Structure 1
Amino acid sequence: MLGRHQPAWDFIRDHFDYLSRAMYILQQGASKMDVAFYQKRTTYARPVTGYEPEDLLKAGYTYGYLDPETLQGRDTVVQKGVLAPMKQAYKALIVRGSDVLTVQGADMLAKHARSGLRVVFAGEIPSYLGGHHDPAGHAYVNHTLRALRHLDNVHHVPREDGLSEVMESLGIMPRTRIRASAFTTKWWPIWRETADGHAQYAFIYHDGEENSAGTIEFQSTGRPYRYDAWSGAITPMGIYSRQGSTITIHLTLGPHQAVLFGFHSDEQHAFHATATSAGVLDVRQVTGGLRAIVGSSTSGHSEWIRTSDGVIHNVPAVSVAPFSLDNWTLVVEHWDPPTPLANVSADASRWNSTHHLESLVSWQHIPGLEHVSGRGYYETTFQWPPANSTERYSSGAFLSLGIVIHTMTVSVNGHALAPFDILTHARLDITSYLVAGERNTVRVVVSTTLANRLSVIWDSLRTSGAPPTGLFGSDTKPPGNAEYGLVGPVTVITYRKVDLAEDDVTKQPSA
């Protein structure tokens, strides 16, 4: 449980704020799904499983499960080929050969199919009638389902898996079509839409342990925004492509990272970029046009931006490569067990130690910190602009923090930076806080779990007089030593701003 006995307690508010903002968006309007599976359960002897292949999810399809009772609900009607249009708005209903039928379920399948809903029989047409031993009932259900096969909107495919290809062949596209760079990538989408249709929201979660990249094609005509649930910022997207009712956005997601997008259908699309070279770090929509954030060149040449008017703009890169911050002073606040250990009302026994680090490493590799838990206060300085900079137009900088292990807060010259996504290699714009001609101070505060300290006193721990146990009283082992602290690399990425207007011919960096 979270509480004051954990080093992260004073910083956990950022996480709760993130959850509250994300949950607020995920309660807007109605959840929309692409397809539904018919599913009737007559026994729950084991956990209920659904469609186990991952091909639908990997392609971006969202789906749910409907039993016979739900299929006859008040909102479960078909309009223009869509089931429950005011709710989930399913575009097809899938019935598998292994499904359990009922007379009521067969009637509802027939009713919705004849109303225009696309029905896909995957595998054999099901014939098992749950809880019904009347031969007449079996005959009725079999006749009812087989009579549907002549309908143009009813399809029969030989297999129960590989349904993403079936859906695509029928022209049923997901609202969030995922094209990841690796087949193993798992990006799970959620799509919500307000009742008036003025806003749609997409939540994308990356269920993986490595960084992954790809594109998502969103079925929306609305102007796209990035919703940052960590800071609360809502920012119009500066880079995306649009064709008809499809908006395509390129994404790179860290392990277990989630992102939120909003699409505002009551707004006109503004001038935007559609593609950039690798050295363009960002494109922002500003009054009068766009502002490109251009870093150092990856090719030794100028960078480029293609804008929505079809023009390709060559933009100059900065000559200063990103540079790392080293020579850190680390003050560690040790959190030791209270004395006596059984005093659960006492706070941890705290004391400080100071360490000088030429480069950043985990606490496991710092003498005296191998089994320490607590908080770390890191500080270093750097010259701005860089000593090797001759740039006239080097107008800003990002601070890249590398891997965030637990919690982290950052300040520059005493100015606290806004909360940021800890599940990716955070890159924070620190331009507003830099002081030219001086050494600028970066301060990073991290917290740890108590695992490394608990491992030392594991055999002394007692709960109600008993040693620690695992699930259902099983034996458990002390936690192994975890990576702690700021491990970096922490780098400063210089950039220049280049302003673009829709009718520009020659592009110049802004001063």
Structure 2
Amino acid sequence: MRYYGVSDIPMTEFWYPKAPSAQNEYAKPIYNAASATHLYNKPMLAAEACTQIGVKWNEHPFSVKYLIDYNFAKGVNHLVFHTFSHTPQTNVYPGSSFGGHIGFPLVRQQTWWPYMKDWTYYLARNQFVLQQGEYVADVLRYYGDHFERPPFDLDAFPKGYRFDYLNAEILHDKLSMKNGKIHVENAGDYRLITLRDSEKMLLSTLKKLEVLVENGAVILGNKPLDSPSLMDDEADLKELKTISDKLWGTSKVGVKQVGKGKVYWGKALDDVLKEEGIAPDVIAPKELDIHWIHREIEDAHIYFVASKEDKPVNLALSFRINNVSPQIWDALTGDQQDAKIWKTSQNRTNVALSLASNGSIIVVFSKSDKQPLASKVTHNGAVVLNTESGWSKFYENKAVPKLLWKNDDFMALESGEFVFHHNGKETKKEVSVEEISLQNNWQLSFNEGWDTPETVEISELKSLTELKNEAIKHYSGTTTYTKTFKLNETGERTILDLGKVSNIAELWCNGKKIGVKWAPPFVYDISNVIQKGENKLEIIVTNTWRNQLIFDNTRPKGQKKTWTTNPPKKNETELEEAGLIGPVILKFIK
């Protein structure tokens, strides 16, 4: 932690899809660097991000979203990508991938390079928010004065709580008791200190702990019996034993009140947290892989929440906070709106959330007089949103969120009766959704120079790899899908669901750009541009380089169209799904 502490911008790293070691995440600890960032009052923790061994050229922004979000939740808030490599040639595709074998391929000739800003806007919004205020945690985990290895990120720690590691410098120079909490100068407040390898402890450390305990600190750890240093002489060891006997008892398991504070030993951290009445900061459904981080600014609490679930999921999160109201901030779009489905109970606030595949959201709590619309929502009798702690519901092939709000206007993507339950009362809303399939009869056009026809008509949407033309089957780049159709009427709201897209979609309707999506669900609100009569859709879909690189392995020398230092091997022939796959459905909500 000390060398992070003297850095202007501490920096760590994380690899995609995992570290090149049998230790995996153990080999690349983030929490040590994050702790130093918090305790040494640094605003940013940088990370060499998404370092990769074995470039496949099937990578795209959504490939690494789960990994980046996970490390945001660990404490990273400033990404330094590995690698943007220099390709001096201007006429080669896709170009260098740095050393031929290593580095996430961020090169200017990437197929998806024109959409970098759409991706980096998402990253920048999250990074900005995560650089605000102070990190919030309950536990300081002291490294110890005698240890054989630093702690690892995957070391066990109770769910629902967060921690920072603590080194000797911070312990001695910056720790004090303030308002009944363990305060770190120019940093946050904590409730408890855990000790590691504490059977051997420096006298200076024990003296500092004694002062903290007498003034109200709570400590968990084994009784010090000796010093790891020859600097502590016989008189020092005698004093160490005296203080140790003062703070600890003689039983194997116990707790002792000393001054205003307590010392626990022989107990699990979970049990001590319960005994001290320290409730979890966040309670998530046990079966879900959900990660979060909590920051506090002067007038608000900020939680970044990320899912590592591949399936869309609706869930309830319970936050250790009350007398505030929640907002939902979406870093994909920049949208901010009041949460609709939430409740307060037993000094906690429970919020119902909808997370897409590997989705994330920012929940912001601040003082306001806003009230929840409901605490539970049912659709045709089945619960679709609920604020009860531990509740969750996966969705297999349906878009999430099932319920949408435009400010206070409620929309649903399925027909039926929706019932909003709140304080024993029910509010019912009947929703009618008419669907029109747009899966058939599209015109496709391609970038020039890749042996594809200028345009092609297809009777039904499917992956490009399922078409007969070899050049189309192996095409990499941007495909423009065009379709015109007539409507006799529209709904109050009109939603276009593209279904499955490989990999990035840019939607135009009647000559107006609707937006770009690089992460599912590929669902667009086109209410303001759809019209009675003739309509024209243009869907610009970009896939990755891999299929074309595989195709190029079959071309003779002198006729190849690509160059990179690390193309697929000749025995690698399996293609990646590509293009607009669907089903594409137009939904009229009434």
Q: TM over 0.5: same fold?
A: yes
Give the AA of the match of 2:533: E
Give the AA of the match of 1:443: E
Give the AA of the match of 1:61: Y
Does residue 325 in structure 1 map to residue 438 in structure 2?
yes
Rate the CA distance shift 1:72–1:41 in 2: closer, same or farther, 3 A: closer
Say which is worse superposed, 63-72 or 165-174, in terms of deviation. Answer: 165-174
Which residue pairs with 1:234 in the alignment?
A: 336
Which residue pairs with 1:107 in the alignment?
A: 207
Q: What is the deviation of 1:15?
A: 0.8
**In percent, how many aligned pairs have the same letter?**
19
Rate the CA distance shift 1:284–1:408 in 2: closer, same or farther, 3 A: closer
Of 129, 141, 152 in structure 2, the residue corresponding to residue 49 of structure 1 is 152
Which residue pairs with 1:172 in the alignment?
A: 278
Could you report, residue by residue, the CA deviation over 1:321-349 in whole angstroms, capped at 9, with x for unpaired residues?
x444201525353586xxxxxxxxxxxx6
Of 426, 438, 449 in structure 1, the residue corresponding to residue 533 of structure 2 is 438
Could you report, residue by residue, the CA deviation over 1:223-272 in whole angstroms, capped at 9, with x for unpaired residues?
2111121222211122222236422112343343221122222x222452
Does residue 278 in structure 1 map to residue 278 in structure 2?
no
8 Å CA contact 2:282–2:318 kept in 1: the answer is yes
Could you report, residue by residue, the CA deviation over 1:131-190 in whole angstroms, capped at 9, with x for unpaired residues?
447464555445534533422753536466xx446534532123322224x2xx221111
Does residue 292 in structure 1 map to residue 410 in structure 2?
yes
Which residue pairs with 1:117 in the alignment?
A: 217
Say which is worse superposed, 129-138 or 23-32, in terms of deviation. Answer: 129-138
Which residue pairs with 2:264 in the alignment?
A: 156
Does residue 410 in structure 1 map to residue 493 in structure 2?
no
Rate the CA distance shift 1:98–1:310 in 2: closer, same or farther, 3 A: same
Give secondary structure in 2 for the equivalent of 1:93.
strand
Give secondary structure in 2 for the equivalent of 1:251.
strand
CA distance in 2, matches of 1:295, 1:333: 32
CA distance in 2, matches of 1:458, 1:128: 67
Give secondary structure in 1 for the equivalent of 2:473.
coil
CA distance in 1, matches of 2:238, 2:573: 61
Give the AA of the match of 1:147: K
Gaps of 5+ in 1: 337-348, 497-511
Gaps of 5+ in 2: 1-83, 85-105, 249-255, 385-401
Write out aligned runs for 1:324-363 (5 A). 324-334=437-447, 353-363=454-464
Which residue pairs with 2:317 in the alignment?
A: 216
Which residue pairs with 1:256 in the alignment?
A: 358
Give secondary structure in 1 for the equivalent of 2:128.
helix
CA distance in 1, matches of 2:265, 2:507: 56
Which residue pairs with 2:98 in the alignment?
A: none
Which residue pairs with 1:68 in the alignment?
A: 168
Say which is worse superposed, 368-377 or 132-141, in terms of deviation. Answer: 132-141
Give the AA of the match of 1:234: Q
Of 109, 127, 135 in structure 2, the residue corresponding to residue 5 of structure 1 is 109
Give the AA of the match of 1:314: K
Could you report, residue by residue, the CA deviation over 1:88-145 in whole angstroms, capped at 9, with x for unpaired residues?
3222222245786333332333332222232223xx4465744447464555445534
Does residue 243 in structure 1 map to residue 345 in structure 2?
yes
CA distance in 2, matches of 1:106, 1:310: 55
Which residue pairs with 1:24 in the alignment?
A: 128
CA distance in 1, matches of 2:207, 2:567: 53
8 Å CA contact 2:443–2:483 kept in 1: the answer is no
Does residue 269 in structure 1 map to residue 390 in structure 2?
no
Q: So what's the TM-score if we normalise by structure 2?
A: 0.66
Of 449, 460, 479 in structure 2, the residue corresponding to residue 376 of structure 1 is 479
CA distance in 2, matches of 1:359, 1:483: 15
CA distance in 2, matches of 1:358, 1:409: 22
Give secondary structure in 2 for the equivalent of 1:190.
strand
Which residue pairs with 2:91 in the alignment?
A: none
CA distance in 2, matches of 1:377, 1:297: 32
8 Å CA contact 2:325–2:369 kept in 1: the answer is yes
Say which is worse superposed, 97-106 or 358-367, in terms of deviation. Answer: 97-106
Give the AA of the match of 2:418: E
Which residue pairs with 1:425 in the alignment?
A: 521
Q: What is the deviation of 1:23?
A: 0.9
CA distance in 1, matches of 2:199, 2:521: 45
Which residue pairs with 2:53 in the alignment?
A: none
Give the AA of the match of 1:486: L
Which residue pairs with 1:190 in the alignment?
A: 293
Rate the CA distance shift 1:285–1:71 in 2: closer, same or farther, 3 A: farther
8 Å CA contact 1:31–1:192 kept in 2: the answer is yes
Which residue pairs with 2:589 in the alignment?
A: 495
Say which is worse superposed, 101-110 or 124-133, in terms of deviation. Answer: 124-133
CA distance in 2, matches of 1:108, 1:165: 25
Rate the CA distance shift 1:447–1:170 in 2: closer, same or farther, 3 A: same
Rate the CA distance shift 1:382–1:40 in 2: closer, same or farther, 3 A: farther
Rate the CA distance shift 1:167–1:359 in 2: closer, same or farther, 3 A: farther
Which residue pairs with 1:452 in the alignment?
A: 547
Give secondary structure in 2 for the equivalent of 1:486.
strand
CA distance in 2, matches of 1:157, 1:335: 71
CA distance in 1, matches of 2:120, 2:451: 26
CA distance in 1, matches of 2:324, 2:185: 19
Rate the CA distance shift 1:326–1:67 in 2: closer, same or farther, 3 A: same
Rate the CA distance shift 1:125–1:33 in 2: closer, same or farther, 3 A: same
Rate the CA distance shift 1:324–1:74 in 2: closer, same or farther, 3 A: same
Q: So what's the TM-score if we normalise by structure 1?
A: 0.75
Q: What is the deviation of 1:77?
A: 4.1
Rate the CA distance shift 1:379–1:88 in 2: closer, same or farther, 3 A: farther
Q: What is the number of residues matched between the two proteins?
A: 448
Say which is worse superposed, 325-334 or 310-319, in terms of deviation. Answer: 325-334
Give the AA of the match of 1:493: K
Give the AA of the match of 2:519: L
Of 388, 397, 409 in structure 1, the residue corresponding to residue 494 of structure 2 is 397
Give secondary structure in 1 for the equivalent of 2:580.
coil
Rate the CA distance shift 1:486–1:131 in 2: closer, same or farther, 3 A: farther
CA distance in 2, matches of 1:49, 1:409: 42
Give secondary structure in 1 for the equivalent of 2:216.
coil
Which residue pairs with 1:306 in the alignment?
A: 421
CA distance in 1, matches of 2:499, 2:237: 63
